[in-house]
Amino acid sequence: MSKNKKHLLSLVLTAIFTALTVVLSRFFSVNIWNMSIGFSFVSIMLCGMLLGPLWGGICGALADFVGAILFPFGPYFPGFTVTAFLSGTLFGLVGNASKRGRRFAPLALVLLTVKELVCSLILNSMFITVLYGGEFFAIAASRLPLSVVTLILEFAFALLVGKSVLPRLRKEV
């Protein structure tokens, strides 16, 4: 496949994953004041793992921006777009680890732990504090149980996708 065709395919797939993320995050998730419970991470993870860190980051950032503009839950804050980009990028790094095979599980666990701790727990809690006020540690503490559950779900899904689904998808794309 030529470089231009591969780039166009990556662009089209990223647009599809972005649209799917917006739908999953805005219509098929539960949004509580400072937390969101849902499976919108699945489409960002698939995009990043299939197409790489840059495309995963673009998918996450675009999904956050488009979702916030079209279906807002509150005021738009660019910090959440940055953390969405970082999350997609880390999912892409997990996907790159799946190409190597043997050391996939430990690296995926480390990257997803960094994603949950840094992006979700620390940065997003800090942005919520900036937007709405309140005590950072109280907000972070209230978000900690969800972050742990999300980490477990993301790791299980990454193992499933990285070991079985992703190799077949890569052959098709």
Domain of 20, CATH number, reads 1.10.1760.20
Per the prediction, the chain carries an average pLDDT of: 89
Across-strand partners of 83?
Answer: none
28: DSSP letter = S
Total number of domains constituting the chain: 1
Residue 64 and residue 74: Cα distance in Å, rounded?
Answer: 12
Q: Which of 136-145, 146-155, 160-169 has the lowest mean pLDDT?
A: 160-169
Parent domain of 149: 3-172
pLDDT cut 90: percent of the chain above it:
57
Q: What confidence score (pLDDT) does residue 102 get?
A: 61
User: DSSP letters of 101-170?
Assistant: -TTHHHHHHHHHHHIIIIIIIIIIHHHHHHHH-S-HHHHHHHHHHHHHHHHHHHHHHHHHIIIIIHHHHH
